[in-house]
């Protein structure tokens, strides 16, 4: 039973354009959501997070949107850069727990 | 500021052996969590420690265990290794327990079972 789903295994965009990565969840008790970026042979790097009391959080080129009614969140990267090419993981946790439930990841390729 | 440090980076063991992996959290971080990453199952939560106490445990057999020391450093142990234990083991630390603050990961220990 996959509680966090990233339905697109891969995404390819042109440099300078917007990258939109999507994530769906089934557990309505999740109240904290995070995005991580992972390069090969490295651990996941924290990008941005959002609490369920918000619907948007922005940090530089990265914006996360949360739609609680649809149980959907997305990560927008604008503008996309070749260095953004990596696997992106969506993760969620529920009330007071450090346990993160991860999606399977989306491989983003930004072409110069 | 130093990140999460995991040792060793690579390890090769044979079936039936046991292994201990080490994790030093970011300075000042008191919560340490462990995850297993495999191609088939993705990233799965193993357990979380705070103030030397296990607060949460994932759905793994009792062969997987861990502990945390008073300086917040943590170790995990896997006994009676099986081929399926081959994976990347990741440690993450956060400032406090209780959710709501991001976890920061180390680069992992790649464990291969022959």
Q: How far is CA B28 from CA B31, B51, B93, in A?
A: 9, 12, 10
CA distance B79 to chain A (A): 23
**Confidence grade of residue A98 (pLDDT, cut at 50, 70, 90):** confident
pLDDT in tens, A51-86: 999 999 999 999 999 999 999 999 999 999 999 999
Residue with tokens 């000042």: B28
Q: Which residue has the higher pLDDT, B110 or B98?
A: B110
Q: Which residue of chain B has the CA closest to A32?
A: B100
Q: Contacts of residue A103 in chain B, CB cutoff 8 Å? A: 42
pLDDT at B1: 55
Q: Which residue of chain B has the CA closest to A105?
A: B42
- The answer on pLDDT for B22 being more than 60 is yes
Segments of B39-102 assigned E as strands: 42-50, 53-57, 64-68, 74-78, 87-94
pLDDT at A56: 98
Q: What b/e sequence results for B34-68 when a residue is b if at least 16 CB atoms lie within 10 Å of its CB, and e otherwise?
A: bbbbeeeebbbbbbbbbeeeebbebebeeebbbbb
Cis omega (within 30 of 0) for bond into A51:
no
Backbone angles phi, psi at A95, to 5 degrees: -5, 100
């Amino acid at each position: 039973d996959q509680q966090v789903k990233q339905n697109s295994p891969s995404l390819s965009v042109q440099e300078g354009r917007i990258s939109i990565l999507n994530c769906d969840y089934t557990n309505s008790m999740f109240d904290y959501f995070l995005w991580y970026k992972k390069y090969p042979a490295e651990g996941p790097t924290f990008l941005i997070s959002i609490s369920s009391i918000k619907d948007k959080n922005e940090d530089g080129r990265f914006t996360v949107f949360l739609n609680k009614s649809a149980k959907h969140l997305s990560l927008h990267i604008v503008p996309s850069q070749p260095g953004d090419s990596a696997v992106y993981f969506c993760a969620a946790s529920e009330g007071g727990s450090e346990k993160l439930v991860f999606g399977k990841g989306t491989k983003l390729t930004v072409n110069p | 500021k130093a990140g999460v440090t995991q040792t060793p980076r690579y390890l090769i063991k044979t079936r039936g052996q046991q292994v201990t992996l080490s994790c030093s959290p970011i300075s000042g971080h008191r919560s340490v969590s462990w995850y297993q990453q495999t191609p088939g199952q993705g990233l799965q939560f193993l357990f979380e420690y705070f103030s030397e106490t296990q607060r949460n445990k994932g759905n793994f057999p009792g062969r997987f265990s861990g502990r945390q020391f008073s300086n917040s450093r943590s170790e995990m142990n896997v006994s009676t290794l099986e081929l399926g234990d081959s994976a990347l083991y990741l440690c993450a630390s956060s400032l406090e327990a209780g959710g709501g603050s991001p976890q920061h990961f180390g680069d992992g220990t790649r464990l291969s079972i022959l």
